[in-house]
Amino acid sequence: MTRPYLDACSSGLIQQRIQTAWQGLSSCRLCPRRCKKNRLDGETGYCRTADKAVVASYGPHFGEEAALVGSHGSGTIFFGHCNLGCVFCQNYDISHGMDDDTIGEVVTPLQLAEIMVELQELGCHNINFVTPTHVVPQILKALPLAVERGLHIPLIYNSSGYEEVETLQLLDGIIDIYMPDFKFWRPASAARYCGAHNYPQQAIKAIQEMQRQVGVLTMDHKGVAERGLLLRHLIMPGCLEETKQILHFIARKISPATFVNIMGQYHPCALAHEFAELDREIEAEEYEQALHYAAEAGLTRIEQPDLARLLARLRK
């Protein structure tokens, strides 16, 4: 399958996108925080990132969805910092950390390109950009350099769902697979746990734009994802009504054929212990109810983990 980003690089479209994205860093509105900081001049806003990306770690990852992992793993690049900042983040030290020297390595576009190519040479099936929202310009600037060095595997945009449509439009024809997490349906929940009351409305618009760009998830003959939308939803303690609303939205407004991973691995970490309602794991009954809501909504493509093992763990 020919990658659209290869055509974008050969046609010169990528250079237009880079110019637009880079100019935007002078008064940054990449994400819904809209800090308007001049990142080109070293200023930083909520994401604490100036004009260079921070890479916390990278390598083949075998803990992602089966359609991404295949036999050789998903080539994940974990970026430092985050534009959302959930209190329960399992990567809290990376996403909330203040010091670049302890979070990871500040990289140039060339270094980021070399990381992509290295992951491809290791046999990874894709390049999986984790928490990329605040470094879209840096990714775009690195991409032609990676293509010059032979990059040709799918690109994954793995995000929280807290996006600006205008930023996503810069990625139209570039990203092969979008993998957002739709976290909250209620503005009050998003405000309490992420300080982002507008998260639900932004996630809705963003996911609709992602679906417009890439459609439903398609796979090759080996069952490895090639292109499309893969949605995640992390079940939160006591938030089953929000889970129900999110799953029904996906079926009605996106597609009942949307590939959805209903995640049951929530556990209290980071600052979650400061919120009494979050200070527990989810229960087996909550996970089973979420699966029921998915079936009720008419969703037909649900990631199937080892249900017996998962439910046994949740019942402990």
d(CA 197, CA 130): 23
Q: What is the pLDDT of residue 226?
A: 97
- pLDDT tens-digit map of 291-302: 999 999 999 999
- pLDDT tens-digit map of 141-182: 999 999 999 999 999 999 999 999 999 999 999 999 999 999
CATH code of the domain covering residue 304: 3.20.20.70
CB of 75 closer than 8 Å to CB of 120: yes
Q: Is 101 helix (H, G, I), strand (E, B) or coil?
A: helix
Q: What is the pLDDT of residue 233?
A: 97
CB of 52 closer than 8 Å to CB of 107: yes
Q: What is the pLDDT of residue 98?
A: 66
Question: Cα dihedral sign for 175, 139, 48, 80?
Answer: positive
- pLDDT tens-digit map of 10-43: 999 999 999 999 999 999 999 999 999 999 999 9
Quote the number of domains for the chain: 1
| 221 has pLDDT over 70 | yes
Q: Is 286 helix (H, G, I), strand (E, B) or coil?
A: helix
Domain extent for 253: 4-315
CB of 157 closer than 8 Å to CB of 178: yes
